[in-house]
Amino acid sequence: MTFRPMLTLAALLMAGAAHAAPGAECAIDVEGRPGKQFGPDHIVVPKTCQDFTVRLIHTGKNSKEKAGHNWVLTRSEDIDAVMVDGIKAGAEHEFLAPGDGRILAKTPMLGGGETASVTFPVSRLRAGQSYTYYCSFPAHAQHMRGTLVLQP
Ligand SMILES: [Cu+2]
């Protein structure tokens, strides 16, 4: 009866191998947490990925009108100007200027308990360039940020 445990071990090893496959590394869950924080607040995108997917999970309880979270990616040097223009654009545009070409990827604005994903081509990223993601909700935009780089 050592047969079954061995099969179980093989299944576990195979599951581990599947998790390490390129497809599995090309996506990440990011939590938008109470206290205006992203978790994680730093992402390294594997250069072997063709596309990369961020799934944002709003772990709070407030509505999106009260304390919404989104995930918006720009080059780090663009972030403050994108933020200012976004706040001018107002709530009806989820605090992002329509057609802003500096925005590399974004999810919709979420309320508590909601989830949304965005997938973007990794060819949009350059090695050695610093990227910042942020939440464009006005009271969050300055502090609720994280950084992202392409794996060197
Ligand atoms: Cu937010």
Q: Is residue 21 part of a domain?
A: no
Ranges of beta strands (E only) in 8-103 are 27-33, 37-39, 42-45, 51-58, 72-75
pLDDT at 7: 45
Distance from the alpha carbon of residue 143 to the mean position of ligand 1, in angstroms: 9
Distance from the alpha carbon of residue 4 to the mean position of ligand 1, in angstroms: 48
pLDDT at 5: 45
Q: Is residue 14 part of a domain?
A: no
Supply the pTM of this predicted model: 0.84
Distance from the alpha carbon of residue 6 to the mean position of ligand 1, in angstroms: 47
CATH number of the domain to which 79 belongs:
2.60.40.420
Dihedral sign, CA of 90, 100, 30, 120? positive
Q: Is residue 10 part of a domain?
A: no
Distance from the alpha carbon of residue 151 to the mean position of ligand 1, in angstroms: 27
Distance from the alpha carbon of residue 39 to the mean position of ligand 1, in angstroms: 12
Whole domain around residue 146: which residue ranges?
Answer: 26-150
- The encoded tokens of residue 136 equal 């464009």
C-alpha distances in angstroms, 14 versus 4, 11, 23, 46, 54? Answer: 15, 5, 15, 22, 25
pLDDT at 131: 98
pLDDT at 20: 41
Distance from the alpha carbon of residue 64 to the mean position of ligand 1, in angstroms: 8
Per-residue confidence in pLDDT tens, the chain, 152 aa:
444 444 444 444 444 333 444 444 899 999 999 999 999 999 999 999 999 999 999 999 999 999 999 999 999 999 999 999 999 999 999 999 999 999 999 999 999 999 999 999 999 999 999 999 999 999 999 999 999 999 98
Distance from the alpha carbon of residue 20 to the mean position of ligand 1, in angstroms: 31
The letter for the amino acid at 97 is: A
Q: Is residue 3 part of a domain?
A: no
Number of separate domains in the chain? 1
Q: Is residue 11 part of a domain?
A: no
Distance from the alpha carbon of residue 25 to the mean position of ligand 1, in angstroms: 25
pLDDT at 140: 97
83 vs 140: CA distance, rounded Å: 10
pLDDT at 25: 87
